Amino acid sequence: MSNSEPVKATGLHVGEASPGVAKVDPILKASNVTRKFGGLTAVNVEHVEIPRGAITALIGPNGAGKTTFFNLLTGFDSPDTGTMEFNGKSLSGMRSHQIAKLGQVRTFQLTKALSLLTVLENMKLGATDQAGEKILGSLIPQIWRKQEAEIEKRAEELLRRFKLYEKKEDFAASLSGGQRKLLEMARALMTNPTLVMLDEPMAGVNPALTESLLEHVLDLKKEGMTVLFVEHDMHMVRHIADWVIVMAEGEIVAEGPPDQVMKEQAVIDAYLGSHQETDLGVVTGRIDIIDDGEKK
């Protein structure tokens, strides 16, 4: 873990911390959102608000509907019922690219690096409102050359920050899994988002890289962005999240600041399990705990 403890944002909610609690300054609101796949209700969220300028973690067991809820919020899937609001604008009927244009960018659980584009091209693709991306404008380089140079400069700065600068001319396919995660996050930042949604940013990443990804996520908050992420790594959640929302079986079962939420019985039952602080070997009985051994 990093040496300096991150500064936690507090005072985000109004009244008692409970599922669906109102926030002082919500950036994203969802009400009565349901999504059924055949007979299975994947998501059934009565009400939830995401606080602005803070890091919110969405946790829950596998199959709790976290990713489905993510897809609904980003327009990659449409809900059967319910309303969603981003920055006061209703998202109903909007397509994913329109939602992204509002300043809400997402990454994917299975990293989506554009393999046969170079790292730099991946980055440039993220920039918004490019004149050269219009079919007619693209034919006349004079229209987009200046903007392209600016975009390239910004992309290179971000690549330096994410330690990918040396790789900029390589195909993204040649990057390692961890570097792809970094690239995906950096590319998302090219859109100048106000809300960054990360779907399991730490999955399958080694501890050293996790640490640097953590720093990057904390940096986003410092720069005034709001972060919502799905994660299973409880250390990370405790370390960086200002607010935790717990989902189980499609519903939100608990909400609150991390240290408080992790103690709630509903959360322990549904997700953490009662042995969360114990080594797995102890739980399965394969290793003895030292003081247990002494007792014998």
Partner 1 sequence: MDWIQILSNTVESILSPVTFAFVLASLGLAMHFGFAGLLNFGIAGFMAIGAYGYAISVLRFDLPWWGGMLVSIAAAIVFAILLGAPTLRLRGDYLAIVTIAAAEIARLLFLTNTFDDFTGSASGLFGYHDSFRAANPIPEGTYGFGPFTYSETDWWVRIFALAVLAVVIWLLWALSRSPWGRVIKGIREDEDAVRALGKNVFAYKMQALIIGGVFGAMGGVVYALPSAVNPTVYVTSLTFFIWTALLLGGAATVFGPVLGSIIFWVLQAFLTNVLPALAQEGGILESLTSQQASTLRFILVGIGLMLIVIYRPQGIAGDKRELTFVK
Chain residues binding partner 1 by CB under 8 A are 74, 76, 95-98, 100-101, 105-108, 112-117, 121-122, 124-126, 128, 130-135, 137-139, 141, 144, 148, 171, 173-174, 184, 187-188, 190-191
Question: Order of strands, edge to edge, in the sheet holding 251-256?
Answer: 104-106, 195-199, 226-230, 55-59, 243-248, 251-256
Q: Which is nearer to partner 1, 41 or 147 (CB)?
A: 147
Q: ∠ CA 99-105-111 to the nearest 5 degrees? A: 125
Q: Which is nearer to partner 1, 56 or 71 (CB)?
A: 71
CA 232 to chain centre: 12
- Helical segments of the chain, H only: 66-73, 96-101, 119-126, 141-161, 177-189, 207-222, 234-240, 258-261, 265-267, 280-283, 290-295
Whether the CB-CB separation of 20 and 30 falls below 8 Å is answered with no
Q: Which is nearer to partner 1, 30 or 100 (CB)?
A: 100
Q: Which residues pair with 109 in a beta bridge?
A: none
Least Å from the CB of residue 23 to partner 1: 25
8 — phi, psi (to 5°)?
A: -85, 140
Least Å from the CB of residue 263 to partner 1: 35
Distance (Å, rounded) from C-alpha 279 to C-alpha 285?
10
Least Å from the CB of residue 118 to partner 1: 10
Q: Which is nearer to partner 1, 35 or 106 (CB)?
A: 106
Least Å from the CB of residue 156 to partner 1: 16
Least Å from the CB of residue 131 to partner 1: 8
* Structure tokens that stand for 155 in this block: 């992309």
Q: Which is nearer to partner 1, 150 or 288 (CB)?
A: 150
Least Å from the CB of residue 199 to partner 1: 10
Using CA atoms in the order 158, 159, 162, 168, what is the torsion angle rounded to 10 degrees?
A: 170
Q: Which is nearer to partner 1, 9 or 125 (CB)?
A: 125
Q: Which is nearer to partner 1, 199 or 264 (CB)?
A: 199
Least Å from the CB of residue 251 to partner 1: 26
Using CA atoms in the order 156, 158, 161, 166, what is the torsion angle rounded to 10 degrees?
A: -30
